Structures are given as C-alpha cells and as structure tokens.
Amino acid sequence: LFDFKIILGKNGVPVAENFRLEQSTIADMVQAGQVRVKTLYLSVDPYMRCRMNEDTGSDYLLSWQLSEVADGGGVGVVEESKHENFAKGDFVTSFTWPWQTVAILDGSVLQKLVPQLVNGRLSYFLGAAGITGLTALLGVREKGHVAVGANQTMVVSGAAGACGSLAGQIGRLEGCSRVVGIAGTDEKCSILVQEMGFDAAINYKKGNVAEQLRELCPGGVDVYFDNVGGDISDTVISQMNQNSHIILCGQISQYNKDVPYPPPLPPDTEKIQKERNITRERFLVLNYMDKYEASVLQLCQWIQAGKLKVR
C-alpha cells in the first residue's frame, strides 16, 4: 500500500517537503469487527491546514502527528469484512479515512453509502452530499436567516470553491433574490454565472471590488457567506445592511498565519459590524448532526433534480 505521512509545520505556506509518500505492507488478517477497504476517493480540504500545526486552535480537530499517516474524509469499497453491517462490495465512507491505498478499519467508524442517491458519483459524498454540502446548507439555514420573498441579496466569497459554489446556489434555492460571487479568475466567474446560476461574479484580482459590489448590489448586502476573511471580507462588510448576517464559514486568507479563529476584524470593520447590528458567529456543522440525515437527503434531491450543479 502507499500512504502519505505528514511533517508538521507552524506558520507559512505548506510545501511538498512537508509530506512524504511511503510504500509498506498491510496486515494479512482482518480481525472481528474490522473491514479491509480499497480507497477510491480522498477529500483534501482547507481545514487540514490547521491540522498541520502542533495546536490546531480548535477543540474539535486533532493535529496530524509527525510521521504518522494523514487522514480525512474518504470513500472506498469493502474488500473483506468481519463486521456484521458490511459485506464485500459495499461502498463506505468515514471522516477519519487514512491517506493510504488500502486500509484495515474498525467498522464502527464507517457509514454505508447508497450510490443511487448521487447518480452513482461516489465522490459527491465527500463534497456536495457530504460535509461540504452540509456546511453550505446548514450555514445558510442556521446563520443566514434567508426568507422567501424578503428580497435579500447574498454575496459569497471564495465562490468558486467546493463550499462557496454550493452556498450561492443554496441561497437562491432557499429564497435569495440576488446572488453575487467573488472569485479569482474570469473563468471561475463565468462558470458561476453561466453554469451555477449566480446573478453576477466579481474577479477580485481585476478592478475595484468595492465599486463593483456597489454596482451589482445596489440595495446593499443582506447575507454574506464568508469563506476567505481578510481585505475581501472587510470590503463586503462595509456594504452590508442594518441587521444583516455574516455566515462565518472559513477564513482561508488567514490559515497560514498564527492568528486566533475567527480572526478579529480590523477596528473600522468591527465598528461597522456593531453599529449595523450585523451577526457574525462561528458555526460548526458537527453541532447540527440531528439534521444530518434530512439535510443530506435534501442535497441529494437537488443534485438528482439538476437544481444543484456540481463540478
């Protein structure tokens, strides 16, 4: 089997030298309660940057350990089972899947998948019908205060990313009348508008973002799905309306810096937030696991109906 091992960092941008690829052998025997799985898909996610630090800065995330196999969301197929819930050929997933081609796992950490729910696209269980999609859906529903008929404008930063591209579409499905994305290339902006139904998209690397926002959101911003933090977020917040809402999903512009999460806003931006009574609360998708099943089914229904476009 091949596995990836991690070498911990603290600050700065991760580089190839932080990882190594090893070839090793796997145990012959599958014990009672275990299954042997072949890895089909692994999810590489922004939160993993935090796991490369000795302290993740979070009470729900453990650091990857030096020279141990990295892990995260994964999907695979059962090759041998000694667990009553799984049989050879079953497709399974786990949030703690090791980055190796073959693994022997405790059956208690696995969930069985139904490929038909995602039209056979198993990788969707790590994206649009997995934690990524749940984060977008529950973020909009729990922190966005979106209401049908309220004529709300939503702005999404990191809009062409796995979560942002779903969040904008879900904002529309939940009732927003206008959705504007912010992304980093013309191609991404084009995909957002032409394929994913955003009303408009701003390439933040071109032109004046504040001016473009004023033009595209003439009534101000009511809901901001924030994936990036930093200067982009300060610009959006400056144009948010009274009693509006920030969905604090991620702050990727800050992940390679030694700052607390969520990072504090600059004084001028914080003043706007307080004066306009803008909510900005971190949310953790794992706190809404009572809504997990119904939410995944909703995402799958939208995918099957073609209402949620996935790349």
Q: Is residue 298 part of a domain?
A: yes
pLDDT at 249 over 90: no
Pair 140, 245 in one domain = yes
Pair 97, 210 in one domain = no
Domain boundary among 53, 83, 113: 113
Q: Is residue 311 part of a domain?
A: no
Q: Is residue 240 part of a domain?
A: yes
Pair 219, 275 in one domain = yes
**Length in residues, the chain:** 311
Mean pLDDT of the chain: 91
Pair 103, 203 in one domain = no
Pair 149, 25 in one domain = no
Phi, psi (degrees; rounded to nearest 5) at 227? -105, -10
Q: Which domain holds residue 238?
A: 132-304
- What are the residues facing 106 on neighbouring strands? 34
- pTM, rounded to two decimals: 0.85
pLDDT tens, residue by residue, 61-88:
788 888 899 999 999 999 999 999 999 9
Distance CA 117, CA 94 (A): 17
Q: Is residue 125 part of a domain?
A: no
Distance CA 111, CA 121 (A): 16
pLDDT at 8 over 60: no
Q: Is residue 126 part of a domain?
A: no
How many folded domains does the chain comprise?
2
Pair 189, 79 in one domain = no
Distance CA 38, CA 28 (A): 14
Domain boundary among 79, 113, 147: 113
Q: Is residue 276 part of a domain?
A: yes
Pair 237, 206 in one domain = yes
Pair 197, 78 in one domain = no
Pair 150, 99 in one domain = no
Q: What is the pLDDT of residue 141?
A: 96
